[in-house]
Amino acid sequence: MLSIIKSIALNGIEGFIIDVQVDVSGGIPCWEIVGLPDVSVKEAKERVKTAIKNSGFEFPSRKIVINLAPATIRKGGSNFDIPIAIAVLKACGKIMSFEYESTLFIGELGLDGAVNGVIGALPMCIEAKKRGFKRIIIPSQNELEAGIVEGIDVIAVKSLSQLIGFLNNQVTIFPSKFDLEDVLKCRNLYNVDFSEVKGQKNVKRAIEVAASGGHNCILIGSPGSGKTMIAKRIPTILPSLTFDESLEVTKIHSIAGNINENMPILVNRPFIAPHHTISQVSLVGGGANPKPGDISLANYGVLFLDELPEFDRNKLETLRGPLEDRKISISRLNYTVTYPCNFMLVASMNPCPCGYYGYGDKCKCSNNAIRRYLSKVSGPILDRIDIQVEVSGVDFECFTSDEIEESSYKIRKRVEKARAIQIERYKNEGIFSNSELTDRLIEKYCIIDGKCQKILELFVKKKGLSGRAYKRILKVARTIADMDCSEEIQEKHILEAMQYRNLDNKY
Amino acid sequence: MNKKEFGNIGEKITCKYLLKHNYRILERNFIYRGGEIDIIAYDRSKNEIVFFEVKTRSNKEYGLPADSVNKYKLNRIIKGAKYYLFKNRINKANTRFDILEVYYSQGMFFINQIKQII
Ligand SMILES: Nc1ncnc2c1ncn2[C@@H]1O[C@H](COP(=O)(O)OP(=O)(O)OP(=O)(O)O)[C@@H](O)[C@H]1O
Ligand SMILES: [Mg+2]
Ligand SMILES: [Zn+2]
């Protein structure tokens, strides 16, 4: 007897519907899985067999062939346990007819017949809904993250016997209901705020520009000047995530296995700060079973590389592609997975190895040492950073002054306004912010008059900047003009944008 | 009771046991190249041809009888089963592989049937 149960496999964050076909026939009993399964899927055999027996059902002494179709997609993970078990029981006539065509099954089985959680339940549910499935059976551990998806019945099950009861109409399980209001309350609740940063008017302005246009930025300054402190507060002034963006962010964290009861859905922009000792695989993603790396976890948020020159040069090199493409493809022998990594890069560094270059005569570093230090970052990353900000420590008076600093909320409102202008302008271009402007689009949208052109050319020539730096200044000027609600880029905008090439100036 | 006697009594008792449980004995000591299948029987209630490996032990202390069926032995039994099906032109029949443990303790025989060893 042949039976077919529908399930789903993930490739990157994309879901593919898989037909779990089970054929049960006579002959010498055996158990075979075909259709490009990986080791973890092959292990399903023992789990399913034992779980069926321990759920009070007889496991048939038959020749069982399982095909996961289409065979061209690689299948990993243990989420086929449930569909395989159900398909076997169905083929043996142990469960009644049900709307199998419109139902997706995912879940891992324990030996005792309990259903265990899977990784990536959210993207699977989203895909199931997109494909018009009526309901999806998921492990109860994944109920919170999967329940977010509306327009599909999410049935959370605890054990195989409970599921069989449900399919046989003996047990009622109500579709999971999820209180969106409840989580959305946490939106924009951060435990840090920009009002805690005293003084630093110029730096804050630069950061606001960066946030308004989604520009990558680097903070340069001596130890203790507040670089880390400021960087940590950048997500608090970025525009609020829309619900769809929240889902996109959560999808990746779901695949990385980061979702727990406390945060079924990420409502705030992620702030990911890898240490410089991080391995390449955890940074950009990869591994035998490809997992998203930190750059993907920072999707729609901030990737903060503190003490940039401490990172290996080759690790930084690998960021080049993702910074341009905003996605990363990981190739394996016979398949490729792609994860998005649309993040805002924020880096920090000291101006020299000891950190005190330019602050009196405290610095004892030789010119050579400084050059070597800077050359570590200059090539690969610096070229892709729009805004370079110098952070000098604040005076003691500043700390003790009673002046009330602007809150993140207020800054965010302005940032959101500037972003709204950009979204409207680029609605037909498929981009959302000035930082994403390509050369062609820069020519179209960053038009400056002859006078500005002259100023800029002079600046670029004097500093010996590359054509790339020139384009970056134009992009930043576009953002500053947007913050000013000015459709044309004026001289003052260009002048301010030129200030954010600090590093080129000095070193 | 010597070993031979013990073995014979054991087999008799297992056959009785199988008949009582709605089996029809098809073959005893079926010989094939590489070994012997102790009992082949038809399970009426399940519609399955069952190949039995009978394990007799007089003393439980050497471990349970079933433990002595290893992977190698299993493969041989499967080979024998295939030969049996081929020889009797049985196609696509449902089959099963069981172990019958027979042990003797305090003047009594005990039978333990382990179903579906593969
Ligand atoms: N503008 C400021 N307002 C309030 N506190 C500040 C400010 N600048 C620095 N601080 C205080 O100084 C501490 C050190 O700052 P932070 O760790 O951000 O420095 P840093 O520039 O990252 O130094 P390092 O180069 O050593 O990493 C902060 O925890 C904060 O308490
Ligand atoms: Mg720091
Ligand atoms: Zn120094």
Question: Is residue A203 classed as helix, strand or coil in its secondary structure?
Answer: helix
The ipTM assigned to this model is 0.85
Q: Where are the domains of chain B?
A: 3-114
Rounded to the nearest angstrom, the distance between the alpha carbon of A391 and the centre of ligand 1 is 10
Ligand 1 neighbours, Cβ below 6 Å, are A 197-200, 221, 223-229, 350, 394
CA separation, residue B100 to residues A206, A215, A376, A445 (Å): 82, 75, 73, 84
* Residue having the nearest C-alpha atom to atom 8 of ligand 1: A226
How far apart (Å, rounded) are the C-alpha atoms in residues A344 and A326?
Answer: 10
Q: Tell me if A28 and B93 make a contact (CB, 8 A cut-off).
A: no
- HEC profile of B4-50: HHHHHHHHHHHHHHHHHCCEEEEEEEEEECCEEEEEEEEECCCCEEE
Range of the domain at A360: 194-410
Inter-helix orientation angle A44-54/A81-91, to 10°: 60
Model pLDDT, residue A324: 86
CB contact under 8 A, A59 and B92: no
Considering only the C-alpha atoms of chain A, give the largest distance between any 2 of them, rounded to a whole number of Å: 88
For residue B63, the model assigns a pLDDT of 58
> Has residue A421 been placed in a domain?
no
| Model confidence at B78: pLDDT above 60 | yes
Residues in B touching A61 (Cβ below 8 Å): 46, 48, 94-97, 115-116
Contact A300, A239 (CB under 8 A): no
Q: Is the pLDDT of residue B97 over 70?
A: yes
Structure tokens at A28: 């010498």
Buried b (16+ CB within 10 A) or exposed e, A15-24: bbbbebbbbb
Place of tokens 């930082």: A435
The Cα–Cα gap between A346 and A313 comes to: 17
- Residues of chain A with Cβ-Cβ distance to B78 below 8 Å are 28
pLDDT means per 10 residues, chain A with 507 residues, are 91 89 92 84 88 91 92 82 94 85 94 93 92 94 87 94 93 86 80 90 94 94 91 94 89 87 83 94 87 94 93 87 90 85 94 80 82 77 86 76 86 95 92 90 91 91 83 94 93 92 62
Domain B3-114: top CATH class: alpha beta
**Residues 26 to 65 of A: which have CB under 8 A from any B CB?**
26-30, 59, 61-62
The reply to whether A123 and A20 lie within a common domain is yes
Does A132 reside within a domain?
Answer: yes
pTM score, whole prediction:
0.83
Mean pLDDT of B38-60: 87
Instruction: Pick from A32, A49, A58, A61 the residue to mutate for testing the B interface (most B CBs within 10 Å).
Output: A61
Please list, in sequence order, all residues whose beta carbon lies within 8 angstroms of the beta carbon of residue A189, skipping any fewer than 6 positions away: A268
Q: Is residue A431 part of a domain?
A: no
Q: Which residue of A has its CA nearest to B98?
A: A61
Number of A/B CB contacts below 8 angstroms equals 29
CB contact under 8 A, A26 and B94: yes
How far is A107 from chain B, CA to nearest CA, in Å? Answer: 25
Instruction: Verify that A234 and A383 share a domain, yes or no.
Output: yes
Q: Which residues in B lie closer than 8 A to residue A30 (C-beta atoms)?
A: 118
CATH classification at residue A385:
3.40.50.300
Last residue of a domain, one of A152, A178, A204: A178
CATH assignment at residue A44: 3.30.230.10
Is 70 exceeded by the pLDDT of residue B59? no
Neighboring chain B residues of A59 at a CB cutoff of 8 Å: 116
Asked which of A111, A144, A178 is the last residue of a domain, the reply is A178
Residue B102 has pLDDT above 80, yes or no: yes
Atom of ligand 1 nearest to the CA of A221: 21
Residue A48 near residue A16 (C-beta atoms within 8 A): no
Residue B81 and residue A28: Cβ atoms within 8 Å?
yes
**Which residue minimizes the CA distance to atom 11 of ligand 1?**
A226
Q: Nearest to residue A65, comparing CAs of A28, A114, A40?
A: A28
A70 assigned to some structural domain: yes
Rounded to a whole number of angstroms, the distance from the CA of A38 to the nearest CA of chain B is 22
Residue A202 lies in a domain: yes
pLDDT band at B5 (very low <50, low <70, confident <90, very high): confident
The CA distance from A35 to the nearest CA of chain B, in Å, is 23
**Closest residue by Cα to residue A15 from A158, A125, A175, A169:** A125
DSSP A134: S
**Chain A residues with CB inside 8 Å of B46's CB?**
61
Cα(A216) to centroid(ligand 3), Å: 25
Average pLDDT over residues B27-44: 92
pLDDT category of residue B65 using cuts at 50, 70 and 90: low
Name the helix (H) or strand (E) containing A300.
none
Pairing of strands B95-105, B108-114: antiparallel
If you measure from the C-alpha of residue A293 to the centroid of ligand 1, how many angstroms do you get, rounded to a whole number?
28
Instruction: Give the integer Cα–Cα distance in Å for A126 and A370.
Output: 51
Residue A385 shares a structural domain with residue A442: no
Ligand 1 atom closest to Cα of A197?
3
Residue A93, chain B, CB below 8 Å: the answer is no
Dihedral sign of CA atoms B19, B22, B26, B27 in order: negative
Is residue A138, in this structure, part of any structural domain at all?
A: yes
- Structural domain count of chain A: 3
The pLDDT score that the predictor gives to residue A73 is 80
Q: Is residue A8 part of a domain?
A: yes
Q: Mark B87-102 as b/e (b = at least 16 C-beta within 10 Å).
A: eeeeeeebbbbbbbbb
CA–CA dist A352, A233 (Å, integer):
25
The distance of A377 to chain B (nearest Cα, Å) reads 60
Residue A163 C-alpha, separation from nearest chain B C-alpha, in angstroms: 25
